[in-house]
């Protein structure tokens, strides 16, 4: 079992302080940062010691066999609003609950909740003891039907939870922490194993990835079980309705999907490794497994938390990869993945795949990459998609011996066949067909990818990606939007930040050609999305604000 390592989705939010990557949240600051009526003497719960040396000995063996990459130790607890923390009544009558959690010598801490409910108007922040790293606010938007929730990793050995409850909803909120993960390795910057992959790995925005700019937006990182990591990909369904299905490996986890975290867009902006971790990542929490099978090692998980209109928020720039369930070997193969939990990479095999068997599975249930000609995979790449020469997924990573520096004979990997997973074990719970083709309407056995931000519908005034260009990009604040249309029409230009908030909006009447300004000089640096709308269609472009 290869390559179960980091895959998470972090969502960036900007506070006045340096607020690093955070999950889908509403932004803002904890109440206590700006008010003196909050309790300053906060209860700190210290987690017990554990046998770290024994874990490291186990890790040394597991890493050699490319099993699940374990970065932390799980403490199982029962900490809630009634039995832990410190309450204070604020000057306006609201109540504030604070709780500190300490894991001595930890590199990071992350939490999971089995009873999480934020009433309207209430909010929860989580921050480190130095108050320079904050995630939140988590609000009623983050409530899930099963009452579960999880947070991404907070750096350091101590964190503080701060829950504010307005007088109008007193005693309605629920917070129960059941798992505290002590991160003891693999976290060099925040939660990411930034820079940890092998020297032969290639960033997805290098020339090798130029033809794969759509598909890269499918690939996500996920964290499962609180302490283990993997890779997955958004996959298209025949109705093309944006159903947020993630295809990954069965060995990436079989339980606890409601606390899985999915991270999008963690990648270098160019070919060269950046000097520090990219800050333009976004994440969602919570999912449900729809189908799985050990034979072809697939798992189909539907994201359930933080959705917008039942699908991935447009500000994430999602792309739903196409697929082929035809049992024909790819003549060339490409994998996009997060090796060793590092930023997104791309690997290429310019030769044909062959049928193979892996780890006790049925004969010819897998594709073996003939030999990687560019880069390879590592622990953490498990579950990543294998694309054929037509940019369609034909499998997901199960295992294999490849690694930077390996001999040519060992530079191969094995992927569970999509064609085998299609009918799987014959039941809805063990096949892809029921979920990806619910009406049995696909007759070709193939489906191309779906970009929900592309223009849709039929119109005499149809717009395309080439109808608009934005330059300079990156920019220090002033961007030019050049418009080139076949006919005059009304256009609305919205600029969104990573929280999905509109930071600029302009409307133009009866225009067809011209250059128009976008002024973001007053905004924080980072990634923004420009949404250009006509009466019937829209297109979205990313811009990078640097200062």
CATH code for position 375: 2.40.10.10
**Do 174 and 204 share a domain, yes or no?**
no
Residue with tokens 């129960």: 176
Residue 10 scores a pLDDT above 70: no
Residue 457 lies in a domain: no
**Do 146 and 72 share a domain, yes or no?**
yes
**Do 277 and 205 share a domain, yes or no?**
yes
Name the pLDDT band for 4 (thresholds 50, 70, 90).
very low
Q: Which of 183, 215, 230 is the last residue of a domain?
A: 183
**Which pLDDT score is estimated for 6?**
32
Pairwise CA distance, residues 10 & 21, whole Å: 6
- The DSSP string of 56-82 is HHHHHHHHHTT-B-B-EEEEEEEEETT
Residue with tokens 């509403």: 26
pLDDT digits 0-9 by tens, 337-356: 988 878 899 999 999 999 99
Residue 4 lies in a domain: no
Among 21-30, 219-228, 455-464, name the one with the lowest average pLDDT. Answer: 455-464
**Do 201 and 174 share a domain, yes or no?**
no
Pairwise CA distance, residues 253 & 233, whole Å: 15
Residue 248 lies in a domain: yes
Residue 533 scores a pLDDT above 90: no
Residue 456 lies in a domain: no
Among 107-121, 238-252, 404-418, 459-473, name the one with the lowest average pLDDT. Answer: 459-473
**Do 359 and 425 share a domain, yes or no?**
yes
Residue 227 lies in a domain: yes
Residue 521 lies in a domain: yes
**Do 501 and 435 share a domain, yes or no?**
no
Residue 460 lies in a domain: no
* Summary mean pLDDT of the chain: 87
**Do 18 and 76 share a domain, yes or no?**
yes
Q: Which of 420, 447, 474 is the last residue of a domain?
A: 447
Return the active site residues: 251, 297, 382
**Do 483 and 436 share a domain, yes or no?**
no
The CATH number of the domain where 487 resides is what? 2.60.40.3080
Total domain count, the chain: 3
Q: Tell me which of 161 and 184 has the higher pLDDT.
A: 161
Mapping DSSP onto H, E and C, the string for 264-275 reads ECCCCCCCCCCC
Which domain does 527 fall in, by range?
A: 465-545
**Do 132 and 206 share a domain, yes or no?**
no
Handedness of CA 330, 443, 417, 318 (dihedral sign): positive
Pairwise CA distance, residues 17 & 383, whole Å: 36
**Do 178 and 205 share a domain, yes or no?**
no
Contact 187, 193 (CB under 8 A): yes
For the chain, helix (H) and strand (E) counts, in that order, are 3, 35
**Which pLDDT score is estimated for 379?**
85
Q: Tell me which of 77 and 541 has the higher pLDDT.
A: 77
**Do 135 and 216 share a domain, yes or no?**
no
Residue 191 lies in a domain: no
**Do 172 and 278 share a domain, yes or no?**
no
């Amino acid at each position: 079992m290869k390559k179960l390592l980091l895959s998470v989705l972090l969502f960036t939010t900007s506070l006045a302080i340096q607020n690093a990557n955070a999950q889908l949240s509403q932004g803002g600051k904890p109440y206590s940062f700006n008010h003196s009526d909050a309790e300053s003497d906060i209860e700190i719960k210290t987690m017990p010691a554990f046998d770290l040396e024994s874990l490291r000995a186990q890790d040394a063996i597991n890493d050699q066999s490319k099993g699940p990459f374990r970065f932390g130790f799980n403490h199982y607890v029962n900490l809630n609003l009634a039995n832990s923390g410190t309450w204070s009544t604020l000057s306006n009558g609201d109540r504030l609950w604070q709780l500190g959690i300490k894991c001595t010598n930890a590199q990071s801490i992350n939490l999971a909740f089995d009873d999480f409910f934020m009433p309207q108007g209430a909010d929860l922040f989580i921050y480190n003891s130095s108050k320079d790293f904050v995630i939140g606010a988590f609000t009623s938007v983050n409530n899930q039907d099963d009452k579960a929730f999880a947070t991404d990793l907070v750096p350091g050995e101590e964190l503080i939870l701060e829950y504010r409850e307005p007088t109008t909803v007193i005693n309605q909120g629920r917070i129960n922490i059941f798992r505290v993960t002590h991160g003891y390795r693999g976290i060099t910057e925040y939660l990411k194993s930034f820079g940890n992959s092998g020297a032969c790995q290639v960033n997805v925005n290098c020339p090798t990835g130029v033809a794969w700019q759509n598909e890269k937006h499918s690939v996500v990182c996920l964290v499962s079980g609180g302490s283990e990591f993997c890779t997955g990909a958004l996959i298209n369904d025949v109705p093309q309705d944006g159903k947020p299905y993630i295809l990954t490996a069965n060995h990436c986890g079989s339980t606890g999907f409601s606390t899985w975290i999915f991270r999008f867009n963690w990648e270098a902006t160019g070919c060269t490794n950046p000097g520090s971790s990219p800050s333009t990542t976004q994440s969602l929490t919570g999912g449900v497994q729809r189908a799985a099978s050990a034979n072809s090692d697939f798992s189909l998980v539907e994201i359930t938390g933080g959705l917008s209109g039942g699908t991935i928020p447009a500000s994430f720039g999602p792309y739903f990869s196409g697929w082929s369930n035809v049992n024909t070997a790819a003549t060339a193969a490409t994998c996009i993945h997060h090796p060793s939990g590092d930023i997104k990479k791309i690997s290429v095999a310019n030769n044909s795949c062959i049928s193979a068997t892996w780890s006790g599975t049925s004969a010819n249930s897998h594709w073996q990459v003939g030999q990687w000609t560019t880069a390879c995979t590592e622990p953490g790449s498990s579950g990543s998609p294998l694309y054929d020469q037509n940019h369609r997924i034909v499998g997901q990573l199960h295992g294999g011996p490849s690694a930077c520096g390996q001999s040519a004979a060992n530079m191969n990997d094995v992927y569970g066949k999509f064609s085998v997973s299609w009918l799987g074990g014959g039941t809805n719970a063990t096949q892809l067909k029921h979920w990806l083709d619910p009406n049995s309407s696909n007759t070709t056995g193939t489906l191309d990818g779906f970009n929900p931000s592309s223009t849709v519908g039929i119109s005499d005034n149809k717009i395309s990606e080439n109808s608009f260009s934005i330059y300079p990009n990156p920019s220090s604040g002033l961007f030019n939007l050049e418009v080139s249309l076949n006919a005059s029409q009304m256009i609305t230009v919205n600029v969104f930040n990573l929280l999905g908030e509109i930071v600029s909006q302009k409307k133009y009447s009866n225009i067809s050609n011209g250059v128009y300004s976008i002024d973001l000089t007053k905004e924080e640096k980072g990634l923004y999305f420009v949404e250009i709308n006509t009466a019937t269609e829209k297109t979205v472009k990313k811009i990078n604000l640097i200062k």
